[in-house]
Structure 1
Amino acid sequence: MIFSLLYVPGNSPRFLAKAGERQADVIIIDLEDAVPEPAKSEARDGLREWVPKIRSAGSQVFVRINHTDRLLDDAEAASRAGADALYIPKVNSADLLTQLAAKMTALEANRPPISFVPLIEDMRGLFEVRAIAHAPRVIAVTAGGEDLATAMGAEPTPEVLRYPKLMIHYAAKEAGVLSFGMLRTTVDYADQEALRAAALEARRFGFDGASCIHPSAVPILNACFSPTAAELEWASKVVAANDENAAVGRGAFLLDGKFIDAPIVERARRLLKRGQKRTECHD
């Protein structure tokens, strides 16, 4: 379970030094859009220092690599530095991930296989997303909202992004992997009320967490993707009542005047699991 992912430019020691203090579940060290071309090699070399430092502070570390001839070099450097996963931009076929997985296997004698998070950022990727979600090493799928809008010749408004982001979300859920995102762009972080509303909406749709580009958004994402105290109380009552009714052979029952059956019980169990994760994180 991952609720919050914070992008940090890979060429900014000032931001990287504080990344582990931000309480994000994942720090995404960005070697792609946030890093100008002349600084990309130096940012890649810096992974040796920053990945272990950030991981030691308690966050997972993903690395967004470049979708160019730098892709394999970036992936190798991230793996050798100990990153947990690669954020792979502009993925538009499962073949890319299959080929990359084969190349990475030869480098991983001394570490577990690094995971993949493909970003869907163009129309071909959007229509191949189901196969992409089933590709090797994929643990989550997400959208690049700004790139998707650009690929469509559109503005990145919530209305424009809603349907393609839901397509990507549904593909992730069908494949049984995590789904990151909100039904809007992540660029506008200044309006915190709008951000909170978008995060709560995403959670209602079943998104597992979301990324952000500013530390001020992290506590909002952590709170919005966590169950509330009232939800946890309801879930505990449902699970307890289900146990009591199951003991006497009832699979469906009424609780506080509402019908409860197997899907609702499973939803309650998942809520309790999410609540435990956030409690453990705060502890």
Structure 2
Amino acid sequence: MRMRSLLYVPGSSPRFLEKAHERGADAIIIDLEDAVAANEKDAARAALGRSVAMVGRGGAQIIVRINTHDVPAMLADAAAACEAGAQALYIPKVSSPDVLHRLDAHLRPLEEAANRQAMRFAPLIEDPAGLLNAASIAAGPRVFALSAGGEDLATSMGAQPTPEVLRVPKLMIHYAAKAAGVLSFGLLRSTADYADRQALAAAIAEAKDFGFDGATCIHPSVVPLLNEGFSPSPEEIERARRLIDAADQADQAGIGAFTFEGKFVDRPIVTRARALLARAAG
């Protein structure tokens, strides 16, 4: 499953929803939470049946970010997303696995009645409690990815969302995701300033080096940067192929570690090369 780019679209904005499938994002997040005014949330939820079908026309994975500020809204959002056919939920402000278990129990009979596949969960960690519980959250039911809400996380700590402030918390969440074998979304900085393309490209390259799988964005202009930045380059692909050929020849000769293009190569390096080709194959 490849999710390099996840584009947020306000669930209350037909203008943005109608164009979302043209943006090239691997996943589209229909937002019922922060991007929707309080007096429009019910209408945005009611429109999911139409919205999910609309944004999914290009083949992207469809995710719905639900409200978790109160239980009735959360359960109603989850049920509507399920009935509309969304593949996953983006669950904000997750501080413990408890909310995941509650949603899992709520969705099971709805999915059985609709004879549909189980929805997956992407918890969004946005406070210190969630940060310290990241490992147990990652191991919760249906979790396929973790992400950090940088702006809210900084606010909850009384801090500013600078790269220095966010780096360690985001890495902690990233490590929890990797330990659980789920995807990790994010950059080691806030993505609020989407106009600074040079800084974004550098942040994407850094996140790729750390093993992040993709990132969310709020503006469609960022989607191509994410798709390119989180994809192996042609040069990386060609080098990985040459390295694997050399590794296969070494195996046949009964050689473990060997030298390739002037550099020492052992099993972890070969494993990375194979993983890179798998990602390139999509």
Classify the TM-score, shorter chain: over 0.9
Equivalent position to 2:80, from 72, 77, 80: 77
How far apart, CA to CA, are the structure 1 residues paired with 2:263 and 2:163? 34
Q: CA deviation at 1:45?
A: 1.0
How far apart, CA to CA, are the structure 1 residues paired with 2:39 and 2:156? 26
Work out the number of aligned pairs and report it. Answer: 277
How far apart, CA to CA, are the structure 1 residues paired with 2:125 and 2:48? 24
How far apart, CA to CA, are the structure 2 residues paired with 1:77 and 1:258? 54
- Note if contact 2:17-2:54 (Cα within 8 Å) is conserved in structure 1: no
The reply on whether 1:129 has 2:130 as its aligned counterpart is no
Q: CA deviation at 1:56?
A: 2.7
The amino acid of 2:75's aligned partner reads L
| Percent identity for Structure 1 against Structure 2 | 59
**Residue 111 of structure 2: aligned partner:** 108
Equivalent position to 2:195, from 179, 190, 196: 190
How far apart, CA to CA, are the structure 1 residues paired with 2:13 and 2:105? 32
How far apart, CA to CA, are the structure 2 residues paired with 1:226 and 1:190? 21
The reply on whether 1:119 has 2:124 as its aligned counterpart is yes
Q: CA deviation at 1:204?
A: 0.5
How far apart, CA to CA, are the structure 1 residues paired with 2:267 and 2:97? 35
**Residue 280 of structure 1: aligned partner:** none
Q: Give TM-score scaled by structure 2 length.
A: 0.97
How far apart, CA to CA, are the structure 1 residues paired with 2:126 and 2:261? 46
The reply on whether 1:172 has 2:173 as its aligned counterpart is no
**Residue 245 of structure 1: aligned partner:** 250
How far apart, CA to CA, are the structure 2 residues paired with 1:124 and 1:230? 42
The amino acid of 1:52's aligned partner reads A
**Residue 102 of structure 2: aligned partner:** 99
Q: Which runs of 5+ in 1 are unaligned?
A: 278-283
The amino acid of 1:232's aligned partner reads I
The amino acid of 1:120's aligned partner reads I
Q: CA deviation at 1:272?
A: 0.8
Q: Which runs of 5+ in 2 are unaligned?
A: none
The amino acid of 2:89's aligned partner reads L
The reply on whether 1:230 has 2:235 as its aligned counterpart is yes
CA offset digits 1:138-197 (Å, max 9, x no partner) = 000000000000001000011100000000000000000000000011111000000101
How far apart, CA to CA, are the structure 1 residues paired with 2:86 and 2:270? 36
Q: CA deviation at 1:246?
A: 1.1
CA offset digits 1:5-50 (Å, max 9, x no partner) = 0000000000000000000000000000000011001101111011
RMSD between aligned residues: 0.8
**Residue 138 of structure 1: aligned partner:** 143
**Residue 58 of structure 1: aligned partner:** 59
Q: Give TM-score scaled by structure 1 length.
A: 0.96
The amino acid of 1:77's aligned partner reads A
CA offset digits 1:100-159 (Å, max 9, x no partner) = 111111110211000000000011000001000000100000000000000010000111
- Note if contact 2:201-2:225 (Cα within 8 Å) is conserved in structure 1: yes
- Note if contact 2:5-2:217 (Cα within 8 Å) is conserved in structure 1: yes
How far apart, CA to CA, are the structure 1 residues paired with 2:140 and 2:75? 18
The amino acid of 2:265's aligned partner reads I
How far apart, CA to CA, are the structure 1 residues paired with 2:85 and 2:168? 36
Q: CA deviation at 1:251?
A: 2.2
CA offset digits 1:261-283 (Å, max 9, x no partner) = 11001100111112122xxxxxx
